[in-house]
């Protein structure tokens, strides 16, 4: 029981990074991005190429890919979403779905469907109060916590983070105050790219690298973001932890194959009882 809850906590921590990207991208661009899962897959395979094929240490490879991937997403946004910026959110969602298919299958084209793993040496799991914790899980906790602290610092203390929150809160007002939205959108993609690259590596360490690895976390990431209130970074963090623990504990009762059903049920329940999420503002349609 305790061990299951702990594993759930780790799952939740892994989901925090994609959930945060979902919520940041939604806040600034105003549509849910369905390509987020495939983006993590592609980034993880890029790290795999540097780490296994070129023999770079995993940390350096991840850092390099995180920066490069942030840049890549700016380019992708320029090519795909920028021409569609003024369209309704359905068009953008469909475009992001198409983009997701493209990115995931680029990874499949390059590396096939076989599961692969990063080059990390095996280590003996730690034991603490009857809880088993292996080294990958420790890395996950440390890396995610650092990323979250960095995000908190960025969003509350740095001008660019405040500008991102302003645009996400009220784009027209932000514009009046002289915040250029194209610049903010570029920064958002860059930051989301870094988060997604790290998230992809953590998923690859937890399970294995295969083309659907990122998309399998997509529903959980959306559920976490909606639970916390779409557009609220703190909410995404709390939501991800709740989703992780609940879905892992649920496997005590339901078959583990249906773990993905839990986030879905959570989404359904929130939409019925509290559509604005735990931390979101009630949304008033004009």
Partner 1 sequence: MISFLILMATVVCFSAILALALNFQWGLGGMVNFGLAGLYALGAYSCALLMLKGGANTFFATLGAMAIVAAACGIIALVTLRVAEEDYFAIVTLGAGEMLRLAVLNEDWLTKGALGLTGVPRPLGEIIAPEHYQYFQLGLALGVLLGTVWFLNVIARSPFGRIVRALREDDVVAATLGKHVLWARVRIFAIGGAIIGLAGSFHAFYYQYIDPTQFSNIVIAYAFMAVIAGGRGAHYGTIAGAAIVMVLLEGSRFIKDLIPMLDSDQLAAIRIIIIGVGLILLLIFRPQGFAREYRLQVEIR
CA distance 180 to 175: 6
Work out whether 108 is an interface residue with partner 1 (CB under 8 A). Answer: yes
What's the Cα-to-Cα distance from 204 to each of 6, 161, 209, rounded to whole Å? Answer: 19, 29, 5
Work out whether 112 is an interface residue with partner 1 (CB under 8 A). Answer: yes
Stretch that binds partner 1, among 13-21, 65-73, 107-115, 167-175 (CB under 8 A): 107-115
Work out whether 253 is an interface residue with partner 1 (CB under 8 A). Answer: no
Q: Of the two residues 93 and 250, which places its CB atom closer to partner 1 in the complex?
A: 93
**Tokens, residue 53:** 């094929």
Work out whether 80 is an interface residue with partner 1 (CB under 8 A). Answer: yes
**C-alpha dihedral over 188, 191, 192, 193, to 10 degrees?**
120
Q: Of the two residues 198 and 246, which places its CB atom closer to partner 1 in the complex?
A: 246
Site for partner 1 in 254-283 (CB under 8 A): 255, 257-258, 260-261, 263-264, 267-268, 271-272, 275, 283
The answer to whether 44 and 61 are in contact (CB under 8 A) is no
For 184, other C-beta atoms within 10 Å of its C-beta total 20
The answer to whether 174 and 163 are in contact (CB under 8 A) is yes
Q: Of the two residues 6 and 34, which places its CB atom closer to partner 1 in the complex?
A: 34
Q: Of the two residues 71 and 261, which places its CB atom closer to partner 1 in the complex?
A: 261
CA distance 18 to 37: 8
Can you give the length of the chain in residues?
286
Work out whether 166 is an interface residue with partner 1 (CB under 8 A). Answer: no
Residues paired with 128 in a beta bridge: 131
CA distance 241 to 5: 11
Work out whether 250 is an interface residue with partner 1 (CB under 8 A). Answer: no
Question: Contacting partner 1 (CB under 8 A), which of 68, 97, 166, 234?
Answer: 97
Q: Which residue has the tokens 């700016």?
A: 74
Question: Contacting partner 1 (CB under 8 A), which of 93, 139, 160, 234?
Answer: 93
Q: Which residues bind partner 1 (CB under 8 A)?
A: 26, 31-32, 34, 80, 83-84, 87, 89-91, 93-95, 97-102, 105-106, 108-109, 112-113, 218-219, 222-223, 226, 230, 255, 257-258, 260-261, 263-264, 267-268, 271-272, 275, 283, 285
């Amino acid at each position: 029981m305790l061990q299951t809850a702990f594993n759930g906590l780790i799952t939740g921590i892994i989901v925090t990074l994609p959930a945060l990207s979902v919520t940041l991208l939604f806040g600034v661009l105003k549509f849910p991005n369905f390509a987020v899962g495939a983006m993590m897959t592609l980034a993880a395979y890029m790290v795999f190429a540097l780490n296994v094929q070129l023999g770079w240490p995993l940390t350096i490879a991840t850092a390099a890919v995180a920066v490069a991937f942030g840049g890549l997403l700016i380019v992708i946004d320029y090519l795909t979403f920028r021409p569609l910026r003024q369209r309704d959110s359905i068009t953008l969602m469909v475009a992001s779905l198409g983009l997701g298919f493209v990115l995931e299958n680029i990874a499949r084209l390059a590396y096939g469907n076989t599961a692969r793993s990063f080059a990390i040496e095996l280590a003996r799991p730690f034991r603490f109060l009857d809880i088993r914790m292996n080294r990958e899980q420790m890395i996950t906790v440390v890396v995610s916590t650092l990323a979250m602290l960095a995000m908190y610092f960025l969003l509350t203390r740095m001008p660019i983070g405040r500008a991102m929150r302003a645009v996400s809160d009220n784009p027209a007002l932000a514009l009046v105050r002289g915040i250029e939205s194209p610049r903010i959108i570029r920064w958002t993609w860059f930051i989301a790219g870094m988060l997604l690259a790290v998230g992809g590596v953590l998923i690859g360490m937890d399970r294995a690298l295969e083309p659907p690895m990122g998309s399998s976390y997509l529903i959980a990431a959306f559920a976490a973001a909606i639970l916390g209130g779409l557009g609220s970074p703190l909410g995404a963090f709390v939501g991800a932890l709740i989703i992780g623990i609940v879905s892992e504990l649920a496997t005590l009762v339901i078959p583990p194959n249906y773990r993905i059903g839990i986030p879905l049920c959570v989404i359904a329940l929130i939409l019925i009882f509290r559509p604005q999420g735990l931390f979101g503002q009630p949304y008033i349609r004009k």
